[in-house]
């Protein structure tokens, strides 16, 4: 969760309303999904509880939410955008380097120390948190009057140009910057292995930056004397770049800046950015009442949403909504309902106790899982617990499988944790790979859930309970694990069949399908040498995996 610093007096000026500090701390900051962790004089340290709302990570964003709730401004914020006449030309050489950029011009800014500190803080928070440490979003801000258009977004060899990086007077090549500049040392890994580095350069030959590393000291130094600025965001996906740029320009517009668009010429087309046209969605009044538990009229719902900075257009039982372009967190009507409840006030909601007497109990699948766990422990296996999140390479590439359909995380923090697991044996392999220094044989198992796509479900996913057991050692083999499987089913009082099968993860002729009541419920086999090599495991491994839900 990002923690930001805001000046209390500056925040009140932006809101246009005096909010006593105790009221702000206990009530007001909650409207911006924040919590004041520390107060040092006029500086408030605020922990924002939503990593999917970069528009809240600044004094301007917090003020925007407070304006609606305290009545100084309600409804959809309006942002006018005029063309700047500036063009950025994107080179086709960037296709496999850093291919995308979105840009803007903001003029007539009065950059006070508060404005400057918030601009730098927002730029850094978006780049690090939302932009995944500059991988997905790197942001450059420049003095517009030191730039001669058009600007080229191209690439250059590591020793192909020299310029003074930010806070340095000495001119250096990009390769030298990566070795000597603090930001080059910190972020140089993002350019590792590239034969050319991305480069923003103007028509006069002045370097703007080497993204995602560092701006030049000439064009990229912003101070309180700067009035007009050029902003660029570079990366690989517009779903990160567009909201990042929109968030920054909206914050500067709230400071009185005039937003102007930039023409970005791509090899395959033209894009004008920023695009601050409002987005559209709708909610059903009855659904709002059902999910929130609040007895609200359509008019009351509209009022609460206008406080949350929506424009409302009631139509029968539905409410059509317009919301700001900097928001990219509205993916379901429940996201809108959350804003209704925030405006209403969580602390105002009174608990309602159930009118029916109900009793809790352990579900059948949990009872069955406990029974399976007890048997496996009795057979001398050690229980493990692994993460639900993993990556495609672990599920497919390292398991000698073609890539299949899995449930993916949209805004990933790390490529290592980008998908939900769709089977358990890869987690066992990872465990064995990390414990090669331990005594053999190693017998492990995990009883846990996997998640698979299912378009018939509301969430488009389905959870399934499984067990995966693995044995690794010089003398382990198919026969040993088959005897373990037999003991497991016998202890549970169940009968099963083994049918010869083929599976790329296992050795041909040493793999079988596990059937229960004539249905396939799992697989048993010796792990293929290719898979062992991919995990750097020297001893043989034999595993089985069973879908406990299918048996139950």
- Look at residue 398 and tell me whether its pLDDT is greater than 80: yes
Give the three-class secondary structure for 245.
helix
Q: Please tell me the predicted confidence (pLDDT) of residue 354.
A: 75
Say if CB 262 and CB 140 are below 8 A apart. Answer: no
Summarize pLDDT for 53-75 with one digit per residue, the tens. Answer: 999 999 999 999 999 999 889 99
Summarize pLDDT for 245-274 with one digit per residue, the tens. Answer: 999 999 999 999 999 999 999 999 999 999
Summarize pLDDT for 114-173 with one digit per residue, the tens. Answer: 999 999 999 999 998 888 889 899 999 999 999 998 999 999 999 999 999 998 989 999
Say if pTM beats, i.e. exceeds, 0.75: no
Q: Which residues contact 442 (CB under 8 A, 6 or more apart)?
A: 382, 432, 435, 470, 471, 472, 473
Q: Which residues contact 83 (CB under 8 A, 6 or more apart)?
A: 260, 261, 263, 272
- What proportion of the chain, given as a percentage, has pLDDT over 90? 85
CATH code assigned to 3-70: 3.30.56.10
Query: Mean of the pLDDT values across residues 79-104?
Result: 95
Q: CATH class for domain 81-273?
A: alpha beta
Give CATH 3.30.56.10 domain extents, the chain: 3-70, 279-348
- What is the pLDDT confidence band of residue 353, given thresholds at 50, 70 and 90? confident
Summarize pLDDT for 438-494 with one digit per residue, the tens. Answer: 999 999 999 999 999 998 888 889 999 999 999 999 889 999 999 999 999 999 999
Residue 522 CA to residue 9 CA, distance in Å, equals 64
* Region of residue 230 (phi > 0: left; psi between -120 and 50: alpha; otherwise: beta): beta
Q: Please tell me the predicted confidence (pLDDT) of residue 261.
A: 97
Residue 322 CA to residue 309 CA, distance in Å, equals 9
As a whole number, the mean pLDDT across the chain is 93
Say if CB 246 and CB 111 are below 8 A apart. Answer: no
Its CATH architecture, for the domain 364-551, is 2-Layer Sandwich (3.30)
Summarize pLDDT for 292-308 with one digit per residue, the tens. Answer: 999 999 999 999 999 99
Exposed e or buried b per residue across 173-198, where buried means at least 16 C-beta atoms within 10 angstroms of its C-beta? bbbbbbeebebbeebbebbeeeebbb
Residue 85 CA to residue 102 CA, distance in Å, equals 15
For 403, other C-beta atoms within 10 Å of its C-beta total 10
Summarize pLDDT for 181-235 with one digit per residue, the tens. Answer: 999 999 998 998 899 999 999 999 999 999 999 999 999 889 889 999 999 999 9
Residue 343's H or E segment, with its range, is helix 333-344
Strand 151-156 to 81-90 pairing: parallel
Q: Please tell me the predicted confidence (pLDDT) of residue 485.
A: 97
Q: Please tell me the predicted confidence (pLDDT) of residue 413.
A: 66
CA 70 to chain centroid: 31
CATH of region 279-348, choose from 2.115.10.20, 3.30.56.10, 3.40.640.10, 3.10.180.10: 3.30.56.10
Q: Please tell me the predicted confidence (pLDDT) of residue 360.
A: 82
């Amino acid at each position: 969760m990002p923690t930001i610093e805001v000046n209390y007096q500056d925040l009140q000026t932006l809101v246009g309303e005096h909010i006593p500090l105790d009221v702000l701390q206990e009530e007001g900051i909650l409207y911006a999904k924040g919590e004041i962790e520390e107060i040092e004089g006029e500086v408030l340290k605020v922990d924002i509880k939503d990593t999917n709302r970069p528009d809240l990570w600044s004094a301007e964003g917090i003020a925007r939410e407070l304006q609606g709730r305290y009545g100084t401004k309600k409804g959809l914020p309006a942002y006018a955008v005029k063309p700047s006449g500036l063009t950025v030309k994107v080179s086709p050489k960037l296709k496999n380097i850093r291919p995308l950029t979105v840009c803007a011009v903001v003029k007539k800014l009065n950059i006070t120390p508060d404005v400057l500190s918030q601009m730098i803080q927002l730029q850094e928070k978006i780049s690090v948190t939302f932009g995944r440490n500059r991988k997905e979003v790197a942001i450059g801000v420049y003095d517009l009057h030191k730039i001669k258009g058009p600007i080229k977004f191209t690439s250059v060899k590591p020793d192909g140009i020299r310029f003074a990086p930010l806070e340095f007077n000495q001119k250096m090549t990009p390769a030298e910057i990566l070795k000597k500049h603090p930001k080059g040392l910190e972020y140089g890994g993002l350019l590792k292995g590239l034969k050319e580095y991305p480069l923003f350069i103007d028509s006069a030959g002045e370097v703007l930056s080497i993204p995602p590393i560092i701006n030049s000291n000439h064009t990229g130094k912003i101070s309180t004397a700067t009035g007009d600025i050029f902003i660029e965001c570079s990366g690989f996906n517009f779903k990160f770049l567009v909201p990042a740029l929109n968030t920054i320009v909206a914050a500067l517009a709230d400071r009185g800046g005039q937003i102007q668009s930039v023409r970005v010429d791509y090899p395959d087309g033209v894009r004008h950015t920023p695009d601050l046209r409002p987005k559209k969605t709708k909610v059903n009044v009855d659904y709002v009442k059902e999910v929130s538990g609040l007895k609200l009229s359509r008019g009351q719902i509209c009022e609460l949403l206008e406080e949350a900075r929506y424009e409302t257009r009631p139509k029968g039982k539905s409410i059509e909504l317009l919301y700001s372009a900097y928001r990219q967190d509205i993916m379901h009507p429940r996201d809108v309902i959350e804003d209704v409840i925030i405006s209403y006030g969580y602390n105002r909601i009174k608990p309602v106790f159930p009118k029916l007497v109900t009793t809790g109990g352990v579900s059948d699948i949990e009872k069955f899982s406990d029974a399976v766990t007890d048997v496996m422990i009795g057979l001398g296996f050690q229980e493990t617990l692994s993460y639900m999140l993993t990556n495609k390479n672990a599920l497919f590439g390292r398991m000698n499988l073609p890539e299949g359909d899995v449930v993916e995380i949209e805004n990933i923090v790390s490529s290592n944790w980008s998908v939900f697991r769709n089977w358990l044996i890869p987690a066992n392999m990872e465990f064995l790979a990390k414990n090669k220094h331990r005594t053999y044989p190693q017998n492990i198992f995990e009883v846990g859930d996997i998640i698979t796509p299912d378009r018939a479900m509301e969430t488009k996913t389905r959870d399934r309970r499984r067990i995966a057991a693995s044995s690794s050692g010089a003398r382990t083999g198919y026969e040993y694990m088959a005897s373990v499987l037999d003991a497991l089913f016998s202890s549970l009082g169940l009968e099963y069949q083994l049918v010869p099968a083929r599976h790329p993860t296992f050795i041909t002729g040493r793999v079988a399908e596990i059937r229960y009541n004539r249905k396939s419920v799992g697989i048993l086999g010796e792990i293929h040498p290719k898979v062992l090599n991919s995990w750097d495991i020297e001893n043989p491994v034999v595993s089985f995996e069973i879908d406990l839900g299918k048996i139950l």
